[in-house]
Amino acid sequence: MSSAPFKFHRPDLVRGYCEALQGTGIQDARSGLFLAAPRRTGKSTFLREDLQPALEGLGWTSVYVDLWAEKSAEPAILMAREIRKALSKFAGTIAKLAKSAGLEKVNVFGALSLSMASLSLPEDVSLTDALDALVTAAGRPVVLIVDEAQHALNSSAGMNAMFALKAARDRLNQTSVGQRLYLVFTGSNQDKLTRLVLTRKQPFFGCRITKFPRLGQNFSDDFTAYINAKLAPNNQFNKDDVFEAFKLVGHRPELLRSIISDLALEGDAAQLASELKAQAASFRERIWGALESEFAALAPVQRAVLERMLQEGLNFAPFTEASLRAYSALAGQTVDAAGAQSALKALREKDLVWQAAYGDYALEDESMVTWYQHRLD
């Protein structure tokens, strides 16, 4: 019986993404790889435990930044901090350069010199220069992985950071030595992430959003085998039952583990199948019940605006004549642009709707779409 924690690797998926970054696969993501998946579905775990090791295996240096970790911090600050940490790993290389030249400081690139006393970047260095320093010090390509990248859209400073990354990509890759900077962005809200690539005004116009595949039955089967190995022979989970429960909780590994751990401790094999499905269904109903209550508590115009957003998705245009007519029909009263604006403000304050720094609106939680479709059905 293994005492190691359960881990599930996806070698085929990581191989495909590495080929995409290199431009050698079916997909060409040399301009940037954008991956969208709901939160808690294994995306960040995959980045840290599968993608980063594979990138290092290619001889590349990877830097991982999670913008969700400190939502109040500016993205540029978070990225610069992680780049400085990565740069410190090459302190020995930088010191050798300085020693061989008999210098107390060494020029990593034209505009910046690093002191041997600190071997760190100045706080005010630009993202482009920081990445340039890291590429030079590492002597190999660098991959910057920005998890929950949609948070950059919340402020003009965050958007400036995205434009700075585009500038760094263009500058570092327009050389005779080939591509030196690769960018990977992930987001738990596809509508938001799309707003980095949708129009010519966005920094990565022309890149495509790739849906990160959900974990499937191969994951739940492996996890079932791992758990069963720790249980008595007469107290075993059935892999098909576990997969059904996994689907009910939205393919979220943490929720499945929580449900199974509770049931495994009870030790009643006869009830495992029914209880597993019941607990998973109960969790989903609690989430959907909370959404239903929140929706019902909205004022009529707020509810109408939110419902229009749920119907239109990326095509949602809040103040067109068609939208105003739709609001009026749904609310049972005339709704003008001022009324719609007031409703959107209220929905933002309730954390149901999100507004980008440049004005677009999107759902704060994409899972509302699944709930709404279920509600209609």
Phi first, then psi: what are they for 258, rounded to 5°? -65, -45
Is the pLDDT assigned to residue 103 strictly greater than 50?
A: no
Is the pLDDT assigned to residue 213 strictly greater than 80?
A: yes
Residues 6 or more apart whose Cβ sits within 8 Å of residue 271: none
* CA–CA gap between residue 340 and residue 318 (Å, rounded): 7
pLDDT bin (cut points 50, 70, 90) of residue 356 is confident
Average pLDDT taken over every residue of the chain: 86
Is the pLDDT assigned to residue 117 strictly greater than 50?
A: no
The string of DSSP codes covering 137-161 is HHTS-EEEEEETGGGGGGSHHHHHH
pLDDT for 94 equals: 61
Is the pLDDT assigned to residue 101 strictly greater than 90?
A: no
Residue-wise pLDDT tens digits, 253-290: 998 998 888 887 776 656 777 888 888 888 888 888 88
pLDDT for 106 equals: 45
Q: What is the mean pLDDT of residues 115-130?
A: 61
In order of 56, 179, 254, 313, 324, the CA distances from 189 in angstroms are 28, 29, 19, 12, 26
Helix (H, G, I), strand (E, B) or coil at 4: coil
pLDDT for 248 equals: 85
Query: Is the pTM of the predicted complex or chain greater than 0.75?
Result: yes
* CA–CA gap between residue 65 and residue 48 (Å, rounded): 11
> Which of 32, 31, 35 lies closest to 13, judged by CA?
35
* CA–CA gap between residue 371 and residue 352 (Å, rounded): 14
Contact 94, 108 (CB under 8 A): yes
Q: Which two tokens stand for residue 354?
A: 């999100």
* CA–CA gap between residue 232 and residue 229 (Å, rounded): 8
Is the pLDDT assigned to residue 51 strictly greater than 90?
A: yes
Q: Which two tokens stand for residue 268?
A: 């009643």
Residue-wise pLDDT tens digits, 299-325: 999 999 999 999 998 889 999 999 999
Is the pLDDT assigned to residue 102 strictly greater than 60?
A: no
Contact 37, 43 (CB under 8 A): yes
